[in-house]
């Protein structure tokens, strides 16, 4: 990694998930990276240390969900030339270091991210520039796009890149903090890459996110000059106001009968417990899907499997879950549900 090489693992934490924090630290230590440090900013009651961990308490920043301020603080004191930005509910797989150390050069990079069930989790995607309320769309590994960005739960960059383009401290969590940073990085002429050979787990732990949700609402309200019915529908979906989102998505469907529109309708109905309507729209989404929708087809089939299980239609559930796994073989949720069906089907 060059002269004075090493990795500065820069972790931000609000103190609500100390078990996840310790899990992250242990996952770093077990990789036996030759030169590294772990820099923690926010609030953490302390814990496991091997002499390379530096905790700095900034409880007020953490309480305000000032993620950019904490990231900049950690990056500024990093002594190595590679910085990895991390949330406290991330875990490195045991082989991560072995896989990443042989990769090529990079400015700002991500790697394969999965959730606790093994499903791909927002590691490489795009958001329309200049439209703060636009929905993100996953990119295929190897695909490039001028609006691409890497999620803030894991970012790996050269320190020189951070020195040229710092995080915008006026943004709090859920305020396009990572999107804004990545877009300004590419505007400066640096490149974004993703290395799917190496994997981290993002446990998506919801503890302590109340202030982040307040920040999200603040951001949406500030940018709520909606340009279309689609914008308004996405707004209500983001606010979990499904009853308001549904009629708007139905209007959108008349002009845009796309996978995303039907999928969102299915999702809204599923959250409201209207499983028959949800299944109908998921099936419509699958029917109109194209090659660009492949990453989300696994989710549509997974949700159908969940619905069929609740309705007691185990054979249909089995078929749907198998299709989910065909599109995403590491979909652990689908695998777990499929395993649980075996006994129920045999008992019939």
Q: Determine the pLDDT at residue 226.
A: 64
For residues 27 and 4, what is the distance between their CA atoms, to the nearest angstrom?
Answer: 23
161: left (phi over 0), alpha (psi -120 to 50) or beta: alpha
Q: Determine the pLDDT at residue 3.
A: 33
For residues 166 and 181, what is the distance between their CA atoms, to the nearest angstrom?
Answer: 7
| pLDDT exceeds cutoff 80 at 281 | yes
C-alpha 26: how far from chain center: 22
Q: What is the pLDDT of residues 129-166, one digit of tens each?
A: 877 777 788 999 989 999 999 999 999 999 999 999 99
- Reduced to 3 states, what is the DSSP secondary structure of residue 196? strand
End-to-end CA distance of the chain: 59
For residues 285 and 277, what is the distance between their CA atoms, to the nearest angstrom?
Answer: 12
For residues 199 and 221, what is the distance between their CA atoms, to the nearest angstrom?
Answer: 35
Q: What is the pLDDT of residues 248-258, one digit of tens each?
A: 999 999 988 99
Cα angle for residues 143, 144, 145 (degrees, 5° grid)? 130
Percent of the chain with pLDDT over 70: 94
Residue 175: which of 206, 205, 132 has the closest Cα? 132
Tell me the pLDDT of the chain averaged across its residues: 89
Q: What is the pLDDT of residues 298-339, one digit of tens each?
A: 889 999 999 999 999 998 999 999 999 998 887 788 888 988
User: Which residues have CB under 8 Å from 277's CB, separation 6+?
Assistant: 265, 266, 269
The confidence band for 31, taking pLDDT boundaries of 50, 70 and 90, is very high
pTM above 0.85, yes or no: no
The confidence band for 346, taking pLDDT boundaries of 50, 70 and 90, is low
Bridge-based pairing of strands 192-202 and 154-158 is unpaired
Q: Do 173 and 67 meet the contact criterion of CB atoms below 8 Å apart?
A: yes
- Reduced to 3 states, what is the DSSP secondary structure of residue 191? coil
What structural domains and CATH numbers belong to the chain?
A: 7-202 (3.90.550.60), 229-346 (1.25.40.10)
DSSP result, 1-36:
--TT--EEEEEEE-SS-HHHHHHHHHHHHTT--SSE
Q: Do 238 and 271 meet the contact criterion of CB atoms below 8 Å apart?
A: no
For residues 266 and 278, what is the distance between their CA atoms, to the nearest angstrom?
Answer: 4
């Amino acid at each position: 990694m060059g002269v004075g090489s090493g990795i500065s693992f820069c972790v931000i934490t609000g103190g609500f998930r100390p078990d996840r924090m310790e899990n992250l630290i242990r996952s770093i230590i077990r990789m036996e990276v030759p030169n590294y440090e772990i820099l923690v900013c926010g609030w953490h009651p302390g814990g496991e240390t091997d002499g390379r961990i530096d905790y700095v308490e900034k409880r007020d920043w953490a309480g305000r969900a000032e993620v950019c301020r904490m990231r900049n603080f950690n990056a500024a004191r990093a002594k190595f030339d590679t910085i990895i930005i991390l949330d406290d509910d991330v875990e490195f797989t045991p082989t991560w270091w072995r896989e990443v150390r042989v990769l090529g050069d990079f400015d700002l990079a991500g790697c394969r991210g999965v959730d606790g069930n093994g499903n791909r989790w927002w590691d490489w995607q795009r958001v329309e520039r200049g439209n703060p309320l636009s929905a993100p769309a996953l990119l295929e590994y190897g695909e490039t796009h001028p609006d691409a960005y890497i999620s803030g739960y894991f970012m790996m960059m050269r320190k020189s890149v951070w020195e040229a383009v710092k995080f915008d401290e006026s943004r709090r969590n859920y305020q396009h903090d990572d999107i804004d940073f990545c877009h300004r990085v590419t505007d400066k002429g640096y490149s974004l890459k993703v290395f799917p050979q190496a994997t981290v787990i993002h446990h998506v732990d919801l503890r302590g996110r109340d202030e982040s949700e307040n920040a999200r609402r603040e951001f949406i309200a500030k940018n709520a000059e909606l340009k279309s019915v689609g914008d308004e529908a996405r707004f209500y979906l983001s606010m979990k106001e499904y009853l308001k989102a549904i009629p708007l998505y139905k209007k959108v469907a008349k002009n845009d009968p796309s996978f995303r529109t039907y999928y969102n309708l299915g999702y809204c109905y599923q959250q409201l417990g209207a499983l028959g309507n949800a299944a109908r729209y998921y099936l419509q989404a699958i029917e109109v899907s194209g090659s660009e929708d492949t990453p989300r087809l696994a989710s549509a089939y997974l949700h159908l499997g969940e619905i069929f299980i609740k309705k007691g239609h185990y054979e249909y559930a089995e078929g749907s879950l198998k299709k989910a796994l065909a599109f995403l073989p590491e979909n652990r949720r689908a695998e777990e549900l499929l395993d649980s069906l075996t006994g129920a089907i045999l008992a019939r």
